């Protein structure tokens, strides 16, 4: 079982990689291989296998929309094989992960919580088989400007293409809650109630703002959104195995 992540640029520090490995280690009963693909391995804990970040030709002025994740569909990606779980660096793991390998399906992804009526995934957590669907990357590399005019980000493109193939499937909603939409109380209640872990949660998704450090201290990142501190995140988001 492969569990992979990617780190590029300076949006996330190396501590995010180290914390992610620790959370995975605490929450996997099965043996697993953990690989980080990055252009800078300085400070990454020795238990993490490091590989070079795959190249993807994008204009330097192109806005960051996660397009680099599409490189996981390269043939013989990282010299790996078999079922592979991709995790964003800013997720917080609060339950056992083995279920993400036992659920049937060729391609499984978290549903986008902002647009639940659309068949669109949130690529913070997705599972695929190494070597399958190389055409997804091939088409993007050949038509990147067209794709970027058609969809806003990588997860919209990925969802669209997998859905065309009849392979797009979603995780059980309770397993992958959004911190913003599922953990936080409604606007009025947020002034008296703190965010909490929904029943059945395994991986909490942090998309947009806040990120885990901000959520811990109760900083939403938006002037119009109020949240109470969530100190419980520190119990899960730690480098201790």
Q: By mean pLDDT, which of 99-108, 126-135, 171-180, 218-227 is the weakest?
A: 218-227
Task: Find where tokens 């088989």 sit.
Answer: 129
Is it the case that residue 130 has pLDDT exceeding 60? yes
Q: Mean of the pLDDT values across residues 155-181?
A: 95
> For 144-167, what is each residue's pLDDT tens digit?
889 988 998 899 999 999 999 999
Burial letters for 55-80: b for 16+ Cβ neighbours within 10 Å, e otherwise?
Answer: ebeeeeeeeebbbbbbbbbbeebbeb
CA dist list (Å): 68 to 10, 72, 167: 15, 8, 21
Q: Mean of the pLDDT values across residues 125-143?
A: 94
pTM for the model stands at 0.94
Q: What is the pLDDT of residue 95?
A: 97
- The span from the CA of 153 to the CA of 158, in Å, is 9
CA dihedral of residues 129, 98, 112, 225 (deg, nearest 10)? -140
Six token digits for residue 88: 């964003």
Q: What is the pLDDT of residue 121?
A: 95
Q: Where do the domains of the chain lie, and which CATH numbers do they carry?
A: 2-172 (3.90.550.10)
- The span from the CA of 64 to the CA of 67, in Å, is 7
Task: Read off the pLDDT band of 93 (50, 70, 90).
Answer: very high
Q: By mean pLDDT, which of 62-71, 220-229, 231-240 is the weakest?
A: 62-71
């Amino acid at each position: 079982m492969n569990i992979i992540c990617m780190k590029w640029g300076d949006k996330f520090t190396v501590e995010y990689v180290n914390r992610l490995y620790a959370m995975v280690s605490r929450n996997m009963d099965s043996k697993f291989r953990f690989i980080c693909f990055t252009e800078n391995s300085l400070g990454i804990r020795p238990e993490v296998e490091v590989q070079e970040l795959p190249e993807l030709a994008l204009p330097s002025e192109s806005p960051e929309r996660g397009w680099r994740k599409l490189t996981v569909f390269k043939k013989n990606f990282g010299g790996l094989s078999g079922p592979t779980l991709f995790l964003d660096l800013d997720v917080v793991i609060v339950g056992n992960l083995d279920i993400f390998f036992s659920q049937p399906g060729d391609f499984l992804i978290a549903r986008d919580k902002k647009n639940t009526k659309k068949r669109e995934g949130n690529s913070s957590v997705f599972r695929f088989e190494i070597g399958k669907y190389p055409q997804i990357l091939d088409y993007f590399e050949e038509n990147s400007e067209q794709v970027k005019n058609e969809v806003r980000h990588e997860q919209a493109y990925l969802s669209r293409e997998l859905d065309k193939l009849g392979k797009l499937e979603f995780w059980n909603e309770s397993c992958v809650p959004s911190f913003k939409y599922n953990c936080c109380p409604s606007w009025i209640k947020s002034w008296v109630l703190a965010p909490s872990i929904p029943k059945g949660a395994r991986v909490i998704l942090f998309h947009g703002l806040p990120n885990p450090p901000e959520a811990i201290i109760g900083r939403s990142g938006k002037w119009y959104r109020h949240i109470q501190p969530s100190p419980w995140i520190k119990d899960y988001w730690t480098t201790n195995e």
